[in-house]
Structure 1
């Protein structure tokens, strides 16, 4: 099967901050957060069950721009964070929005850990809020961070927090779940807990981290920077595993004078089946990479403006790409029709690694 691409109907009107597929491998639902103060729920299937431009199912307005969104235990609940500082749960069946907690500055990231039933948010107030799922009345534990977080990602056992000052913390999710379950939930400010990370690391990249994404096999993660580079690292602290880590240049375009123009790598996402990963850059390019064999598998056509988010579906059959004008373009206004969501239906081996059987 050859791949083909289509555009999702009724996109947001301002830059897209995040997009995520439903955790159900058979689902074609996508949830999208935007700077237009809204969250959008789409289904790529139309009324006849055909996959194409799909339809907008629901739109949820917020008080301020929404910086991240994720599905929860199933595809009928989502969690959002943004510039209103709140961590929200939205029940898609009833459309009820519940504020789980509020940070002291903008909340920039939110993830749900299925294995441990945790909702984890990160904020520019240099904290994590860790909630137990299923109980909207319980208050979180508040985990102080040494600096402002930029991106978080999780595996079945670990949470990776990429921060300012090129600092990374890796937390054991089982330990976080235990602390949250034991927390005194009567303090309205949340229970502030000093948590020792499983590992502390310094980024392999010289410049500010833009995104981090964990490998689906629980072995490591990739991170990207504002300076057109991606690093691939493994959790195993042994010298042999640490010797495998590496970084490479990407998302660069040769200018008219022959000098490379370097773009930020805004987004990373791992394929759930093959373990390869996609990167999206300020140059409007999406590339697929085999992190094990250190090779680029393919690079797609250049989009009209910056790629702000990428995501694979639970089955790995679809790759969603959010295209939004960014600061790279040198202007703040977003021209009408410039924000788009593209979806590629991938061929059977399109995202397969070079050495995969």
Structure 2
């Protein structure tokens, strides 16, 4: 039986309270970024983690199943690095940022230094999101920017092979199989079928009342997506009309005020990540907590204590055995809310026992 971070994988995460998660086995990634962390993504084929930061860099770490970590490569931008992704074969890592560029390191070619990076995409405004996908049978990257453009890039040429103007600035984006979901300003969501990448398949306004912060496509079945907003709510949305009756939203990342029990403090939902095996998902927010959920049972599986700072980004590794989360300022209170004393670190949480497993069918809530 495999072990994670020194803990037997069959062990319960909390014997006293089965819905209370345990952080005692979580470990910190060594030599983390020097400024706020904007994104983190595991390689789909190896034990590597890419991380973008407001210090203008994208870091690539080697992550072992026992929680040990080490830096192995780095990319640099001329402004804050905002998003990262991997090629499907795990041989190339990409990052995009406020310098209006996306860059690539070819790790298979032995490239590890910033000087070996290649610019692979450009926008007229900062690039907020970069994703890797198979489009029309070709391996491409997709970028979404504050210039209201989604662009498709074949790495064999310097100009985009296609582009699509969306309703507003791109705030969040996710891709899986043939589905691309783009969340923009003014709460608009564009669903694009990558078999017809130049056309918006569905154009809807978020069912949540406030600004969209994150969208994440269901896994393993890419038939819908989850949305998180700044109002401490999450929505589960299916794409096809026949499934609309199963859409729902729920409150999360809220806390009763310590001074007035009639007042609820509301926090932004910054990150949503789906477990690659079980199809359950995590939410994490400005309140400094993360939770695991079962969307089909409409049930929270585990809730975790406050980690000492806001959580800005999350990701599961390819096996679902490690859950990474970034504890760093998320800019939810603007520039004035930032200070040198705030934590800035990447934590690795071992997914133990039934933490992320869906509830048995027929189980009482």
Report the TM-score, using the length of structure 2 for normalisation. 0.86
Task: Give secondary structure in 2 for the equivalent of 1:174.
Answer: coil
Aligned to 1:30: 49
Task: Give secondary structure in 2 for the equivalent of 1:150.
Answer: strand
Query: Are residues 1:43 and 2:70 paired?
Result: no
Query: Are residues 1:16 and 2:48 paired?
Result: no
Aligned CA RMSD, in angstroms, stands at 1.8
Aligned to 1:252: 254
Aligned to 2:358: 353
CA distance in 1: counterparts of 2:255 and 2:160, whole angstroms: 47
CA distance in 1: counterparts of 2:223 and 2:330, whole angstroms: 32
Query: Are residues 1:209 and 2:215 paired?
Result: no
8 Å Cα contact 2:60/2:72 also seen in 1: yes
1:223-234 aligned at under 5 Å gives the runs: 223-234=227-238
Query: Are residues 1:199 and 2:205 paired?
Result: no
Which consecutive unaligned segments of at least 5 residues does structure 1 have?
A: 177-194
Residue 106 of structure 2, aligned match among 74, 91, 100: 91
1:290-305 aligned at under 5 Å gives the runs: 290-305=294-309
CA distance in 1: counterparts of 2:201 and 2:75, whole angstroms: 37
Residue 274 of structure 1, aligned match among 272, 275, 278: 278
Instruction: Answer with 120-129 or 160-169: which moved more.
Output: 160-169
Aligned to 2:185: 164
8 Å Cα contact 2:329/2:342 also seen in 1: no
Aligned to 1:190: none
Q: State the shift of 1:334 in Å.
A: 4.1
Which consecutive unaligned segments of at least 5 residues does structure 2 have?
A: 1-8, 14-24
8 Å Cα contact 1:66/1:80 also seen in 2: yes
Aligned to 2:140: 118
Query: Are residues 1:131 and 2:153 paired?
Result: yes
8 Å Cα contact 1:306/1:328 also seen in 2: no
- CA offset digits 1:126-145 (Å, max 9, x no partner): 0011112x414453422111
Task: Give secondary structure in 2 for the equivalent of 1:310.
Answer: strand
8 Å Cα contact 2:50/2:59 also seen in 1: yes
Report the TM-score, using the length of structure 1 for normalisation. 0.88
Residue 64 of structure 1, aligned match among 73, 79, 86: 79
CA distance in 2: counterparts of 1:228 and 1:173, whole angstroms: 31
- CA offset digits 1:273-329 (Å, max 9, x no partner): 000100110000000011111111101121111100010011111100011023346
- CA offset digits 1:31-52 (Å, max 9, x no partner): 000000111111123xxxx622
| CA separation of 1:336 and 1:72: change in aligned 2, threshold 3 A | farther
Aligned to 1:341: 346
Instruction: Answer with 337-346 or 227-236: which moved more.
Output: 337-346
Task: Give secondary structure in 1 for the equivalent of 2:277.
Answer: coil
Q: State the shift of 1:230 in Å.
A: 0.1
CA distance in 2: counterparts of 1:144 and 1:158, whole angstroms: 17
